[in-house]
Chain A
Amino acid sequence: MADKVVDARGLSCPEPVLLAKQAIEAMSAGTIEVLVETTASRDNVTRMAKYLGCSVATQEAGGEFRLTITKG
């Protein structure tokens, strides 16, 4: 179970990235689930999370993406 869930579905670029970044920076270690629905948002959030040293696992279901970001 993730420590925090960020639902960024339907939000314009770069809001998903900003919300995910704020969630990552707000915790010292743990997992965050980020929900997005476009591949552009999936790629942008993934790139940002990796840049911040996190690992990212992606699941696709029903045209939406669930990114599990692990910090620490």
Chain B
Amino acid sequence: MASEGGARRAISRLLASRAGIISVGLIIGVVAALLQRAGNPPNMGICVACFERDMAGALGLHRAAAVQYMRPEIIGFVLGAFASALLFREFKPRGGSAPIARFMLGVFAAIGALAFLGCPWRALLRLAGGDGNALLGLAGLLAGVCLGALCLQRGYTLGRSSLATPLSGLILPAVMLLFLGLLTLKVSFGPGGALFFSEKGPGAMHASLAVSLSAGLGIGVLAQRSRFCTMGAIRDAVLIRDVHLLSGVAALVAAAFATNLALGQFRAGFAAMPIAHSAHLWNFLGMALSGLAFALAGGCPGRQLFLSGEGDGDAAVFVCGMIVGAAFAHNFFLAGAPDVLADGVLKVGGPGPYGKIAVLAGLAFCTLLGLTARRRA
């Protein structure tokens, strides 16, 4: 038993170290690029926002036929982190810190991400695939996280969580297990009913269940141990001049870039890039909204999934908010439309009028929350 505990501590120390976080970033970067090769959409090996949107579609929460698939990567993220937390004795059911505020942060995080067409992970992967629009998105992310960091420095807090019953910590992992069962058996609840599967479009592009699930589980374990977080990377560098997490993020980009080059998946440009638009202002503002929401909620969308696996009910509420927000983004025509290149003529995409209003409303809501939810001196 002692040696088993020693091995656990050694693994923990390794993955929490600088070399550990860089290794995790390298692995995620390579795996994401390989997932594209295996069938996932271009420059979308992994995108938490897009994949949660696809899951919302599979459940019928929205009816955009092109983006419906129960993504095994997301299921794997939660279940991998859950298994890792159990194994390393870090499963700790907790919750009760401003759930409705966290839900709304999740809703607006998804709306912002889908105005840009990607979460921070996909922004990095788009950059590694040569999509210059990602630079606008990442600049927006930086601006949003900096605004969130400013709120944190002024004493922003959503209040303390408290320990919860074991059952509450098991809810999201159990739901993901149920989703996995439904997907594996391709359950249909009747003609025209869920689960929905896209026949064309990004939702129809996916690696096999086994490959996607294995990738998700592996990344779930590694990220739970190493605390990999794209938003935290920026926040820590800005707030406490700590580049620990940022080194993992840089490794992700470098590894995905190298793998894309090797696989012939790299194509540089701005116009008509895969599942992307070149409406620069809205790439920036969409991701600024997401970055602010992630900073105020305490983690990027990937990290929220890993925390949910550890039993964090507040993170699980944020995840539910993102899935609902993704459904809203399509039901209310808020999501950005990709650029279209037809007969040599470029039609620049981006969010429509409702999407622009939603992004601005989200920025207003998050800023108000950031400035008013404060620790009493």
Asked if B157 lies at the interface with its beta carbon under 8 angstroms from chain A, I say yes
Contacts of B299 in A (CB 8 A): 13
> How far is B20's CA from A10's CA once the two chains are assembled, in angstroms?
26
Number of A-B residue pairs with CB-CB distance less than 8 Å in the complex they form = 55
Q: Are A14 and B314 in touch, CB under 8 angstroms?
A: no
> How far is B94's CA from A11's CA once the two chains are assembled, in angstroms?
11
Q: Are B97 and A10 in touch, CB under 8 angstroms?
A: yes
A17 and B240 contact, Cβ closer than 8 Å, known pairs A10-B160, A40-B227, A43-B16: yes
Q: Are B153 and A14 in touch, CB under 8 angstroms?
A: no
Q: Considering only CB atoms, which chain B residue lies closest to A7 in the complex?
A: B160
Q: Are A48 and B240 in touch, CB under 8 angstroms?
A: yes
Asked if B232 lies at the interface with its beta carbon under 8 angstroms from chain A, I say yes
Q: In whole Å, how far is A70's beta carbon from the nearest beta carbon of chain B?
A: 19
Q: In whole Å, how far is B297's beta carbon from the nearest beta carbon of chain A?
A: 8
1/0 contact string of B308-346 vs chain A (CB within 8 Å): 000000100000000000000000000000000000000
Q: How large is the interface on B (under 10, 10 to 19, 20 to 34, 35 or more residues)?
A: 20 to 34
Asked if A72 lies at the interface with its beta carbon under 8 angstroms from chain B, I say no
Q: Are A37 and B298 in touch, CB under 8 angstroms?
A: no
Q: Considering only CB atoms, which chain A residue lies closest to B157 in the complex?
A: A15
A residues in contact (CB < 8 Å) with B: 9-15, 17-18, 21, 37-40, 43-44, 47-48, 51, 63
Can you pick out 24 interface pairs between chain A and chain B where the beta carbons lie within 8 Å of each other?
A10-B97, A11-B157, A11-B160, A11-B161, A12-B97, A12-B157, A12-B158, A12-B298, A12-B314, A14-B152, A14-B232, A14-B235, A15-B157, A15-B298, A17-B240, A18-B152, A18-B153, A18-B239, A37-B94, A38-B90, A38-B92, A48-B242, A51-B240, A63-B92
